[in-house]
C-alpha cells in the first residue's frame, strides 16, 4: 500500500485479551480514496519514531504485507509480523506520487498533534506462592495478574511450542472449509501470525504446576520471534524440539500470571504466563504474599523487527 499519511495518532499502549500491546493508527490516501491503518507491536514504536523525524510534507508512506478487511463499509489494514513501514522513501514511485498530488492540487489533511503519553500510576501486583494460587477462590481475581517465582523443572516436548494466531486479535485460528478462520473476528484469515506457546512444569517450595509461556514471555526469555526461531531451525537442518527452548529447564523465573476463570471456578492448575520480570519483590513469595510494583519500562517489548 502506498499513499499520503494523514490523521496520525501517536503510539499508545492498549489492553487486549492477551496483554498490553503498542499500536499506531493513521489514514493512508491517494488523494481520492483512503483506508485506515493500524500498526502493531514493535513496528508501531519504530513507525512513531520515524514519523517524529520526518520533515518533508506531505509524508508518503509505504506499508508492506498488510492484512486487509472491510469494516463498516470501510477498508482497514493491520500489520503482521512480516510487515514494514517506510516514510518518504527515496524511491521513484514515491517521487512520482508526490508530483501527481501536486499537479492535482492535493491539500494535506490536518495531521493530529502527538498525544502525550501519560504514564499510569504505579500498579501493584501481588506475589503469590504456588500454594497461594491454589487457594484463590475470590472471583475478583479473575483476569487479574499476579507474580510467581518458580524454577523450571522441565519443558513439555510432546506439545507444539508454537501456534497460528489471528493478526488482529491474537486468538488461535482454526481450519474452516480448508481455510484459516478466526472465530473471534468471524473472518477468514489469509496469513496467520506464528506465536509461542510453550508448556513447562515449574515448582517453588510449596507446589508444582504446569504453566504456558505465551508469546511475549517466551520472546523475552528466548530473545527471538517464533518465525525467526523456525527460520534458524530450517537453515541449520536440525530436527526435534528446539534446544533453545529445552534449555529453559533449570532456570529461575518470575512469571506474570493471568488468573483465568477456570483457575477459580473449575479449580484448574494450569496457569498462563504473559510476561517475565526481574525479581524486584520486596520479599520472597516463597515465604508469603507480598506486593511488587512495575512501570511500563519493566515490561518493555523486546525489539524483534
Highest-pLDDT range among 74-78, 154-158, 165-169: 154-158
pLDDT band, very low/low/confident/very high, at 247 (cuts 50, 70, 90): very high
- The answer, yes or no, to whether residue 293 has pLDDT greater than 60, is no
pLDDT band, very low/low/confident/very high, at 300 (cuts 50, 70, 90): very low
Q: Pull the grid cell for residue 136.
A: 484463590
Is the Cβ–Cβ distance between 62 and 5 less than 8 Å?
no
Domains and their CATH numbers in the chain: 2-103 (2.40.50.140), 123-161+197-294 (2.40.50.140), 165-192 (no CATH)
The rounded percent of the chain whose pLDDT value lies above 90 is: 29
- The answer, yes or no, to whether residue 289 has pLDDT greater than 60, is no
- The answer, yes or no, to whether residue 274 has pLDDT greater than 60, is yes
Answering whether pTM is above 0.85, one says: no
Q: pLDDT tens digits for 170-189?
A: 777 777 766 777 777 777 77
Amino acid at each position: 500500500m502506498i499513499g499520503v499519511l494523514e490523521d496520525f495518532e501517536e503510539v499508545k499502549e492498549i489492553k487486549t485479551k492477551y496483554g498490553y500491546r503498542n499500536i499506531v493508527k493513521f489514514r493512508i490516501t491517494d488523494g481520492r480514496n483512503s483506508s485506515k491503518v493500524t500498526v502493531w507491536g514493535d513496528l508501531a514504536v519504530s513507525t512513531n519514531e520515524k514519523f517524529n523525524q520526518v520533515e518533508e510534507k506531505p509524508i508518503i508512506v509505504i506499508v508492506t504485507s498488510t492484512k486487509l478487511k472491510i469494516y463498516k463499509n470501510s477498508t482497514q489494514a493491520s500489520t503482521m509480523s512480516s510487515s514494514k513501514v517506510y516514510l518518504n522513501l527515496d524511491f521513484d514511485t514515491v517521487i512520482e506520487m508526490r508530483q501527481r498530488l501536486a499537479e492535482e492540487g492535493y491539500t494535506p489533511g490536518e495531521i493530529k498533534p502527538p498525544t502525550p503519553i501519560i504514564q499510569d500510576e504505579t500498579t501493584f501486583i501481588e506475589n503469590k506462592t504456588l500454594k497461594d494460587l491454589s487457594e484463590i477462590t475470590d472471583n475478583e481475581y479473575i483476569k487479574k495478574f499476579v507474580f510467581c517465582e518458580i524454577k523450571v523443572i522441565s519443558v513439555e516436548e510432546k506439545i507444539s511450542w508454537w501456534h497460528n494466531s489471528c493478526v488482529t486479535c491474537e486468538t488461535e485460528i482454526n481450519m474452516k472449509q480448508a481455510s484459516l478462520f478466526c472465530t473471534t473476528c468471524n473472518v477468514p484469515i489469509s496469513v496467520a501470525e506464528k506465536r509461542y506457546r510453550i508448556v513447562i512444569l515449574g515448582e517453588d517450595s510449596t507446589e508444582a504446576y504446569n504453566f504456558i509461556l505465551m508469546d511475549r514471555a517466551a520472546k523475552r526469555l528466548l530473545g527471538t520471534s517464533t518465525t525467526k526461531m523456525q527460520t534458524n531451525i530450517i537453515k541449520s537442518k536440525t530436527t526435534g524440539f528446539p534446544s533453545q527452548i529445552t534449555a529453559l529447564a533449570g532456570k529461575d523465573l518470575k512469571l506474570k500470571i493471568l488468573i483465568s476463570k477456570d483457575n477459580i471456578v473449575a479449580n484448574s492448575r494450569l496457569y498462563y504466563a504473559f510476561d517475565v520480570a526481574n525479581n524486584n519483590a520486596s520479599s520472597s513469595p516463597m515465604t508469603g504474599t507480598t506486593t511488587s510494583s512495575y512501570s511500563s519500562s519493566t515490561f518493555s517489548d523486546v525489539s524483534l523487527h
